[in-house]
């Protein structure tokens, strides 16, 4: 995990310097961008391991940059925002952010969030390569999910959090998982709202449906979600 490259997209130089200082002290490599256009240029050129992305930036704001990153890659993204309204946080998560941090923040908290998201990204699996749930093939080593239709396999591009949710539920795919359980298992590093799980599940469900896998990630009213419907 250490030596991972972190792209810090932040137009406030003082905040940027503080984050860089703490990250480098923790062993990470860093690169900085002060506007959205430069952020995308550096993202394409350097392929960072994770992005810390400010919402309010010149030229192209963080939400627009997040949309473009998600069109290109499932690289983990943590949004950094001064907005306190829950709806803004959930909006970013719906677009594919893996986590968010509110300003003003404790730099040590940011480091722990980065480490936690990278653990989800790079988590090692002992001896198990893949799990088959219906037409879904979940490769735990490569963090990839495929929809298998006949002899064809379609790769579904998910964010790391979306993958973590499906992978966690795949151990008991017919079990009804409570939102609180999914938060604890897949978003343990922050004070995540249970309803943020709804955004991640909704995004993942749509992606599975587009690939031809319908009926997965079933909503269980008053409880939470089930990966595989009971037939």
Q: Which of 25-29, 126-130, 168-172 has the lowest mean pLDDT?
A: 126-130
pLDDT computed for residue 127 by the predictor: 43
The mean pLDDT value for 117-126 works out to 60
Query: Could you read off the pLDDT of 25-54 as tens digits, one per residue?
Result: 988 989 999 999 999 999 998 889 899 998
Q: Provide the phi-psi class of 224: left if phi over 0, else alpha when psi is between -120 and 50, else beta.
A: left
Please tell me the pTM assigned to this model.
0.58
Q: What is the mean pLDDT of the chain?
A: 83
Same domain, 83 and 140: no
* Helix 160-170 with 194-210: angle, nearest 10 deg: 90
Query: Could you read off the pLDDT of 52-64 as tens digits, one per residue?
Result: 998 888 888 888 8
Q: Which of 51-55, 115-119, 212-216 has the lowest mean pLDDT?
A: 115-119
Q: Which domain holds residue 216?
A: 130-226
pLDDT computed for residue 229 by the predictor: 80
* Within-domain flag for 231: no
> H-helix or E-strand containing 74?
none
Same domain, 102 and 168: no
Please give the residue that has the higher pLDDT: either 1 or 211: 211
Q: Select from 75, 105, 122 the last residue of a domain.
A: 122
Q: Residue 124 pLDDT more than 80?
A: no
């Amino acid at each position: 995990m250490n030596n991972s490259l972190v792209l810090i997209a932040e137009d406030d130089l003082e905040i940027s310097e503080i984050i860089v200082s703490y990250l480098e002290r923790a062993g990470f490599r860093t690169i900085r961008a002060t506007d959205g256009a430069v952020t995308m240029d550096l993202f394409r050129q350097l392929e960072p391991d994770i992005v810390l992305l400010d919402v309010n930036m010149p030229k192209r704001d963080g939400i627009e940059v997040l949309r473009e990153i998600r069109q290109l890659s499932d690289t983990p993204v943590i949004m950094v925002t001064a907005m306190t309204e829950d709806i803004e946080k959930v909006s970013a998560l719906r677009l594919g952010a893996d986590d968010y941090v509110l300003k003003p923040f404790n730099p040590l908290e940011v480091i722990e969030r980065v480490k936690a998201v990278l653990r989800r990204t790079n988590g090692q699996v002992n001896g198990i390569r893949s799990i088959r749930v219906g037409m879904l093939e979940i490769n735990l080593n490569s963090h990839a999910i495929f929809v298998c239709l006949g002899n064809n396999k379609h790769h579904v591009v998910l964010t790391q959090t979306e993958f973590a949710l499906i992978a966690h539920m795949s151990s008991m795919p017919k079990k009804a998982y409570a939102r609180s359980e999914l938060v604890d298992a897949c978003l343990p590093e922050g004070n995540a709202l249970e309803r943020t799980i709804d955004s991640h599940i909704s995004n993942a469900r749509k992606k599975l449906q587009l690939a031809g896998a319908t009926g997965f990630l079933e909503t269980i009213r008053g409880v939470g979600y089930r990966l595989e419907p009971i037939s």
